[in-house]
Amino acid sequence: MKTLNKKLEEQLIQNLIVQNIQEVSGSQWFYSVIHYGDYGNDGIRKEWEEMRWMYNKTHMIYKVHPFLKRLLKEHFKNECIYFTLERHQGNQEKIEDGPHLQYGDTREGKYHTNILISPISDNLIENPHSKLSRLWEEPGRMGIPIHSLQYGEDLIDLKIDLINSCLRKCPWVNRYTPSVKTQVLEDVEDLFNTGHYTLKDISRKGLDFMDVLDTHNSDLQH
């Protein structure tokens, strides 16, 4: 019964998000995933104290996500943004006792962030304001500056590179390309499937929706 209730809870939240999405004018939405790396921009593995925040939900909700949201809103003037949190699989703590190796308690994995981003105006991209125009100096795919790349007339690939470059300006996000992945969502079915995926831990792990959906930073009402 508990599993059924969790699946119902996931479905209700998913329907709420999709309903809000359908009320927002525009075409393509975007879906970004941010992985927070164990290595710094210098390629050196961070000390534990520098990585501790990746395991801290409070830090994610009240430090990292507000910064990411402000970046997106300032650059792209998005009407709606939704954040969900997902934990990597944990591992058992290793305990060395002389020549012997034992395993203790399971340590929960670090977080990564899923973001649903409302449509970005073509007119904004074709006539960018000063802050947005500076993103063309940032590296796009293959590390080549965006202004040196060729893009299609639909502007989708350009928007994806701009979103990725914008999100990598967050001080908690690694500057390496794999840290941010963005894709376009073409229709409501894509949005529904993506919403289901980002909320899957509610039913799969029995988590409360407050542990998955970042209600503090998501635009649940617009």
Q: Record the pTM.
A: 0.81
pLDDT in tens, 122-131: 999 999 999 9
- Count of CB atoms situated within 10 Å of the CB of 2: 8
Contact 124, 133 (CB under 8 A): no
When the pLDDT of each residue in the chain is averaged and rounded to a whole number, the result is 81
Grade residue 64 by pLDDT with cuts at 50, 70 and 90: very high
- The pLDDT score that the predictor gives to residue 1 is 37
> 76 with 67: CB under 8 angstroms?
no
In angstroms, the CA 170 to CA 26 distance is 27
pLDDT greater than 50 at residue 209: no
Cβ-in-10-Å burial (0-12, 13-18, 19+) of 148 comes to: exposed
Q: Is the pLDDT of residue 195 over 90?
A: no
Report whether pLDDT(211) > 70.
no
Which residues on neighbouring strands pair with residue 54, listed in sequence order?
Answer: none
Q: Which run of H or E residues covers position 97?
A: strand 91-97
Listed residue (207, 172, 220, 196) closest to 31, CA to CA: 196
H or E, element range at 94: strand 91-97
Least-confidence region, from 89-98, 152-161, 189-198: 89-98
Question: Which is higher by pLDDT, 22 or 49?
Answer: 49
Per-residue pLDDT for 26 more than 80? no
